[in-house]
């Protein structure tokens, strides 16, 4: 048993979760992974992967039973993200974004909202977490999207950028500022905007370095009218909802990064055990063994921390923001380093598209940028030790 198999075996999944994870693993390895290079090359949205994921009813795992779900642990969810992302990082993030955008509705929605909106996701809908704006990225509180109350409706005007699933979402969990509240941070509010709302426009889809099959869209909201019934909580509850959703989505993007890192590690190990130079396998050179030791140790430690954070969440911890930041930062830095070294260990072949590591290196880069850049996470972690 390898170090990594033994580590995976320490995670206490229920029998039902193990069955689900086996189905996801089968789908990821047999169907999704073989299509990944084609989707990377064409940049087409992988609808057949989404359909196959929905045939397993996978969204249901993060939706409570009364609304059409079949909830499983956060650990099981993270394992599914990691498996799907190792097979195809674009598909992994498309599915994970459903969780990121739906979870706040589960946590902060009222009964009527949950009864009406969650079944859309349980049946296989797509969702977007819609925060970033052209002039408000790392500092999301600088957002300008405006929510103006108009009787039983809310008028929405603004623009958002870099929105995953943006061109194809059924539900947008949208953040903006309540026009009647003056203080910028206290004005932040959250609502659910449904597909087909007049005034919602997909302005463009980005042509990206990696994750080429995922949709990353710039959106305009021009006089959209949303039922007041779609407001989550009260006007001004948005910042609380935003921070709670990021705490749950950051470990998830770490699982995405670790799927990419695992893929690169496995490919590199397989390659250097085969490839020979100077009459020896590459893995026999001591300099390469030192590198492998560092990469394997960092991967094992990041994966162990992933399961630590999962246990905190499943155990009902109220505050795990610093642990989530540490995980997101280290897992994504590792994904970038691992994929870069995997290309290096493949020599010239690693630079060519015939080998998967070329794609993994491009896919890895975003993990250091989104869900708070790693500079921001270093700031959050460091600041947490500042005495009041």
Ligand X SMILES: Cc1cc2nc3c(=O)[nH]c(=O)nc-3n(C[C@H](O)[C@H](O)[C@H](O)COP(=O)(O)OP(=O)(O)OC[C@H]3O[C@@H](n4cnc5c(N)ncnc54)[C@H](O)[C@@H]3O)c2cc1C
Binding site for ligand X (CB under 6 A): 97, 128-132, 137-138, 162-164, 208, 211, 216, 366, 369-371, 373, 375-376, 379
Nearer to ligand X, 344 or 373 (CB): 373
Q: Which is nearer to ligand X, 73 or 374 (CB)?
A: 374
CB of 204 to ligand X, least distance (A): 13
Annotated catalytic residue within 133, 303, 323, 371: 371
Q: How far is the CB of 248 from ligand X (least distance, A)?
A: 14
Q: Which C-beta is closer to ligand X: that of 78 or that of 163?
A: 163
The distance of closest approach from Cβ of residue 243 to ligand X in the complex, given in angstroms and rounded to an integer, is 14
Which CB atom, from 28 or from 163, has the smaller least distance to ligand X?
Answer: 163
Minimum distance of ligand X from residue 139's CB (angstroms):
7
**Catalytic annotation on 205?**
no
Q: How far is the CB of 11 from ligand X (least distance, A)?
A: 27
Q: Three-state secondary structure along the chain? A: CCHHHHHHHCCCCCHHHHHHHHHHHHHHHHHHHHHHHHHHHHCCCCHHHHHHHHHCCHHHHHCCHHHCCCCCCHHHHHHHHHHHHHHCHHHHHHHHHHHHHHHHHHHHCCHHHHHHHHHHHHCCCCEEEECCECCECCCHHHCCCEEEEECCEEEEEEEEEEEECCCCCCEEEEEEEECCCCCCCCCEEEEEEECCCCCEEEEEECCCCCCCCCCEEEEEEEEEEEEHHHEECCCCCHHHHHHHHHHHHHHHHHHHHHHHHHHHHHHHHHHHHHCEECCEEHHHCHHHHHHHHHHHHHHHHHHHHHHHHHHHHHCCCCCCHHHHHHHHHHHHHHHHHHHHHHHHHCHHHHHCCCCHHHHHHHHHHHHHCCCCCHHHHHHHHHHCCCCC
Give the nearer residue to ligand X in terms of CB position, either 207 or 354.
207
Q: Which residues are catalytic?
A: 371
């Amino acid at each position: 048993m390898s170090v990594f198999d033994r580590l995976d075996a320490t995670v206490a999944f229920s029998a039902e979760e193990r069955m689900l994870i086996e189905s996801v693993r089968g789908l990821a390895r047999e169907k999704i992974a073989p299509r990944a290079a084609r989707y990377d090359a064409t940049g087409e949205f992988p609808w057949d992967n989404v359909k196959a994921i929905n045939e397993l009813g996978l969204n249901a795992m993060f939706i409570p039973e009364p609304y059409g779900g079949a909830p499983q642990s956060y650990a099981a969810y993270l394992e599914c993200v990691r498996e799907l992302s190792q097979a195809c990082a674009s598909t992994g993030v498309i599915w994970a974004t459903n969780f990121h955008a739906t979870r706040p509705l589960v946590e902060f929605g009222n009964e009527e909202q949950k009864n009406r909106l969650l079944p859309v996701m349980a049946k296989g809908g797509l969702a977007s977490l819609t925060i970033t704006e052209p002039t408000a990225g790392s500092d999301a509180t600088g957002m300008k999207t405006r929510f103006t109350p108009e009787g039983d409706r809310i008028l929405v005007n603004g623009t958002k950028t870099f929105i995953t699933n943006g061109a194809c979402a059924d539900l947008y969990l949208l953040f903006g500022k309540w026009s009647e509240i003056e203080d910028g941070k206290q004005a932040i509010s959250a609502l659910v905007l449904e597909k087909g709302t007049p005034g919602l426009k997909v302005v463009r889809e980005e042509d990206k370095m990696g994750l080429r099959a995922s949709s990353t869209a710039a959106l305009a909201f021009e006089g959209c009218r949303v039922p007041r019934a779609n407001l989550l909580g009260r006007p001004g509850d948005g910042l609380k909802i935003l921070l709670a959703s990021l705490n749950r989505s950051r470990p998830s993007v770490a699982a995405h990064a670790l799927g990419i890192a695992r893929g690169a590690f496995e490919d590199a190990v397989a390659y250097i055990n085969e490839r020979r130079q100077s009459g020896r396998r590459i893995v026999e050179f001591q300099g390469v063994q030192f590198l492998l030791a560092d990469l394997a140790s960092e991967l094992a430690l990041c994966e162990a921390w992933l399961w630590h954070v999962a246990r905190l969440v499943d155990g009902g911890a109220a505050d795990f923001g610093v642990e989530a930041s540490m995980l997101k930062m280290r897992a994504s830095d590792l994904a970038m380093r691992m994929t870069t070294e995997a290309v290096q260990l493949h020599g010239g072949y690693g630079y060519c598209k015939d080998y998967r590591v070329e794609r993994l290196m491009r896919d890895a880069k975003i993990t250091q940028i989104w869900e708070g850049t790693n500079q921001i996470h270093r700031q959050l972690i460091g600041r947490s030790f500042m005495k009041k």
